[in-house]
Amino acid sequence: MILFNENHQKKRFFYRNKEAYLQAKEHTPNYHVYIVECQDGSYYTGFTEDLIKRITEHKMGNGAKYTQRNGFKRLVYFESHSEKEQALKREKEIKEAGKVYKKIIITEFQKNLLLL
């Protein structure tokens, strides 16, 4: 049970911090570039606003035609961006760079995960 005073304090906190909240929300990464490994050993690079939902779609066989055809194995890399244009540009860079570059960034990403 929340007491009136406690509830009133929470409301005051949120109203005072509304501007800070809106600024933080504006700069929160909402766009993701990701790489999944397929069952055949190939890689698929994509872009999404909801990474968990998109990976679930790939797992269920409802993702991109490429992963439907080659089979989803696992998520191996992702990065987040606050602006859609940045993420789309980065997706294009990764796709154009080829498999060797993808392997390099995947290896570095996984090394960094081990350090956490």
Task: Sheet containing 72-81: give its strands across.
Answer: 43-48, 31-38, 72-81
Please check whether residue 80 lies inside any domain of the structure. Answer: yes
Count of alpha carbons within 13 Å of 51, Cβ hemisphere only? 18
Tokens for 70? 């080659």
Strands in the chain per DSSP E:
31-38, 43-48, 72-81
Please check whether residue 48 lies inside any domain of the structure. Answer: yes
Q: Looking at residue 2, what is its pLDDT?
A: 47
Interhelix angle 84-97/99-115, nearest 10 degrees? 120
| CATH for 103 | 3.40.1440.10
Q: Which residues pair with 81 in a beta bridge?
A: 31
**Residue 42 to residue 65: CA distance in whole angstroms:** 14
Structural domain of residue 59, as residue ranges? 28-115
pLDDT in tens, the chain (116 residues): 444 455 555 555 556 666 766 666 666 678 999 999 999 999 999 999 999 999 999 999 999 999 999 999 999 999 999 999 999 999 999 999 999 999 999 999 999 888 76
Please check whether residue 13 lies inside any domain of the structure. Answer: no
Q: Looking at residue 114, what is its pLDDT?
A: 82
Please check whether residue 56 lies inside any domain of the structure. Answer: yes
pTM of the entire structure?
A: 0.75
% helix / strand / coil in the chain, to the nearest 5? 60, 20, 20
For the chain, how many structural domains are there in total? 1
Please check whether residue 111 lies inside any domain of the structure. Answer: yes
Please check whether residue 98 lies inside any domain of the structure. Answer: yes
Q: Looking at residue 14, what is its pLDDT?
A: 57
Q: Looking at residue 116, what is its pLDDT?
A: 67
Q: Looking at residue 48, what is its pLDDT?
A: 97
Q: Would you say the C-alpha torsion 61, 84, 34, 103 has a positive or negative sign?
A: positive
Please check whether residue 105 lies inside any domain of the structure. Answer: yes
Please check whether residue 8 lies inside any domain of the structure. Answer: no
